[in-house]
Chain A
Amino acid sequence: MEWLTMERWSPYAVGIGIGVLSWFAFLLSDRPIGCSAAFSRTSGMIERLFGGEKVLEKAYYRKFAPSVDWEWMLVLGIFVGAFLSAKLSGQLRAAWVPATWAAVFGHEPVVRWAVALMGGIVMGFGARWAGGCTSGHGISGTLQLAVSSWIAVICFFVGGVSTAMFIFEGLAN
């Protein structure tokens, strides 16, 4: 069982594994793998906690009810799966600031976390605007040959590459 404790597998082996996993998602659950709708459901659950039942009337939460569903459990599973994999390979450790970031912008966690928070807000907003993320559009949608997903994933990378280049090669210099 040495492969379970390896730090890295070939990206192709991992990709093939995810592809096969998507067969099972369609076959057993009749659903494509996706992640970002779970964040809408979570925001709805939090709003409901503070705002009460009237939150359920909001148009978006009538589409994506603020409750735990299959996809929400899948996202929880990602946390568990990555935890297990890291535990087995001895890579489980609290990391305050990622290395690439620290090398250019320093080790101050507050700075990185503030930037990450901003990025998260923009990304969460954009994911729902586009109707999916790198999983739902990027993998599950492209494999169904959906035109929307192919356009979305191209836009994800156009936006992502130009932003990362701007931050690391524009701002940093």
Chain B
Amino acid sequence: MALGLSMGIAFGFLLHKGGVTEYDVIIGQLLLRDFTVVKVMLSAMVMGKIGVYLLKGLGMAQLHPKPGSFGSTVIGGLIFGVGFGILGYCPGTMVGAVGHGALDALFGGVVGTIIGAGLFSEIYPKLERGVLRKGDFGELTLPQLLKRNHWWVIWAVGLGVVAFLLWIEKAGL
């Protein structure tokens, strides 16, 4: 619990220093005018996967990939996206925004997100028997899907990300 709190403090500190707890920065990303959010996310992903897969190789960490299905991941992801576009924060950055005084994140965002999560728990039993199971693919990972070694995928994705970020920088976004 203390570890969770300290990692949260570091996470919130970084999110704020990155500017991604600002509505203006997030909405700028969604309007494709400012790529700060994508730069933060992609560099975290590249850095994170190298270390986490190294730790896993050394037997010091285990992976916890989330299971998915088309009914859950695609439909839920699109619903999330619509809410994300209306609100202009995601759950984590919204809490950070409250931390620096954004009142719309508190009175609108936090309250709304709790209500939304509550509504989901209400209809979960119905969804769980139906749509959430449609097109289930379980805890599949890209190396399993592509039948390649995970380091092959890590390099391929990493190079793709670096090329994309160079292109973004060149385009001045």
**Interface positions of A (Cβ within 8 A of B):** 6, 8-9, 11-12, 14-33, 35-36, 38-40, 42-44, 46-47, 58-61, 68-86, 91-101, 109, 112-169
**Interface positions of B (Cβ within 8 A of A):** 1-24, 27-28, 30-32, 36, 39-52, 55, 60-69, 72-88, 90-105, 107-122, 124-125, 127-128, 132, 137, 139-143, 145, 150, 153-154, 157
**Using Cβ atoms and an 8 Å threshold, which residues of chain A touch B139?**
146, 148
Residue of A36, A124, A135, A169 with most chain B CB atoms under a 10 A cut-off: A124
Among the listed A8, A84, A96, A143, which residue makes an inter-chain contact with B44, where contact means beta carbons less than 8 Å apart?
Answer: A143
Given contacts A76-B8, A100-B28, A151-B77, could you give 11 more A-B pairs where the C-beta distance is less than 8 Å? A12-B43, A74-B7, A74-B11, A82-B12, A101-B88, A117-B115, A123-B83, A124-B116, A124-B119, A152-B77, A164-B31
Among the listed B17, B23, B103, B105, which residue makes an inter-chain contact with A14, where contact means beta carbons less than 8 Å apart?
Answer: B17
**Using Cβ atoms and an 8 Å threshold, which residues of chain A touch B107?**
113, 116-117
Among the listed B81, B92, B132, which residue makes an inter-chain contact with A135, where contact means beta carbons less than 8 Å apart?
Answer: B92
Whether B51 pairs with A15 at a CB distance below 8 angstroms is no
Whether A21 pairs with B114 at a CB distance below 8 angstroms is no
Distance from B80 Cβ to chain A, minimum over Cβ atoms (Å): 3
Whether A109 pairs with B103 at a CB distance below 8 angstroms is yes
**How far is B100's CA from A93's CA once the two chains are assembled, in angstroms?**
6
Distance from B52 Cβ to chain A, minimum over Cβ atoms (Å): 5
Question: Can you list 29 pairs linking A and B with CB atoms under 8 Å apart?
Answer: A14-B17, A14-B44, A15-B40, A15-B41, A16-B47, A18-B40, A33-B11, A74-B8, A78-B96, A80-B8, A81-B8, A81-B10, A81-B99, A82-B15, A82-B100, A84-B9, A85-B12, A96-B103, A122-B82, A123-B82, A124-B116, A126-B80, A127-B80, A133-B90, A137-B77, A139-B48, A147-B68, A154-B77, A160-B81
Among the listed B55, B72, B115, which residue makes an inter-chain contact with A23, where contact means beta carbons less than 8 Å apart?
Answer: B55
Distance from A110 Cβ to chain B, minimum over Cβ atoms (Å): 10
**Using Cβ atoms and an 8 Å threshold, which residues of chain A touch B140?**
146-148
**Using Cβ atoms and an 8 Å threshold, which residues of chain B touch A147?**
65, 68, 137, 140-142, 145
**How far is B50's CA from A91's CA once the two chains are assembled, in angstroms?**
34
Residue of B nearest to A142 (CB): B45
Residue of B nearest to A39 (CB): B117
**Using Cβ atoms and an 8 Å threshold, which residues of chain A touch B115?**
43, 117, 120-121, 124
Distance from B24 Cβ to chain A, minimum over Cβ atoms (Å): 4
Among the listed A32, A71, A113, which residue makes an inter-chain contact with B64, where contact means beta carbons less than 8 Å apart?
Answer: A32
Whether B92 pairs with A75 at a CB distance below 8 angstroms is yes
**Using Cβ atoms and an 8 Å threshold, which residues of chain A touch B150?**
145
**How far is B21's CA from A28's CA once the two chains are assembled, in angstroms?**
26
